[in-house]
Amino acid sequence: MKVLDIGCGKDWKKWIEAIDNGTVDNVTCVDAGYGSRNYTFHPIDLMNENIFDYLEKLNSRDFNMIYAERVFEHIPYDKLSYLIYLLYECSVEGAELIITVPDYVQIGKSIASFSEADRSFDGAKDFNKWLIDIHTETFNEPSDPHRSIWTPELGNYWITLEGYWRVKSWRKISRDNRDWYIEFRAVSTRKPIDINDIIAPVEGDFNEPE
């Protein structure tokens, strides 16, 4: 299996175990923060490039899985369809796309539930941590801001919009002790989009298109 991991940063070492146990054969990690050159820790390639620049230069379709954790929320919403198309173009038929993004429904609920009389915080330190978490997940750092909104329904819309991918399932997951994230799993397809693929409010498997 050949994997493309976009925006993985320093987290590329997570693939070593998968390679050692034979689950994955080769991994390409693309991130503009790797410094001035590319690195190879065979069979892991670290590409210091903007993801759009990298994908636009590819002329092969050989990735079996594409992985993106906390990346898509940094992509401007008007460029999401183009990125999803480029990922389709570099993948084999039936490839899997795994995306993890913040769930702005859960973030909004956390903000909406706050009141000055809230007693769920364990002192000022706990409250300040909540403030940092809320602002980080909403805006992130000015140098790398969040530029698109994701919810279960919006994520399914973004991914399936052009008909290149079909979302199989989504689930709520936690990262950094925060349960504000969604993981989508999709497969590449050329089938026409069915309305059941766009409206899917229930966590779990999406309906199969007819």
DSSP letters for 46-83? EE-S-HHHHHHH-----EEEEEEES-GGGS-GGGHHHH
- Residue 60 above 60 pLDDT? yes
Confidence of residue 194 (pLDDT cuts 50, 70, 90): low
Q: CB burial class (10 A; 0-12, 13-18, 19+) of residue 21? A: exposed
Q: CA 146, CA 107: separation in Å to the nearest integer?
A: 13
Per-residue pLDDT tens digits for 164-179: 999 999 999 998 888 8
Tell me the pLDDT of the chain averaged across its residues. Answer: 85
Over the stretch 69-116, which tens digit does the pLDDT of each residue have?
A: 999 999 999 999 999 999 999 999 999 999 999 999 999 998 888 865
How far apart (Å, rounded) are the C-alpha atoms in residues 77 and 29? 23
**Residue ranges per structural domain of the chain:** 2-102+143-205, 107-139
* Host H or E run for residue 116: none
Q: Note the pLDDT of residue 95.
A: 95
Between these two residues, 193 and 39, which has the higher pLDDT value? 39
Structure tokens at 97: 């796309």
Percent of the chain with pLDDT over 90: 52
Q: Which fold has domain 2-102+143-205?
A: Rossmann fold (3.40.50)
- Between these two residues, 63 and 126, which has the higher pLDDT value? 63
Distances (CA, A) of 67 to 39, 63, 110, 154, 209: 19, 10, 28, 19, 24
- Quote the pLDDT of residue 122: 72
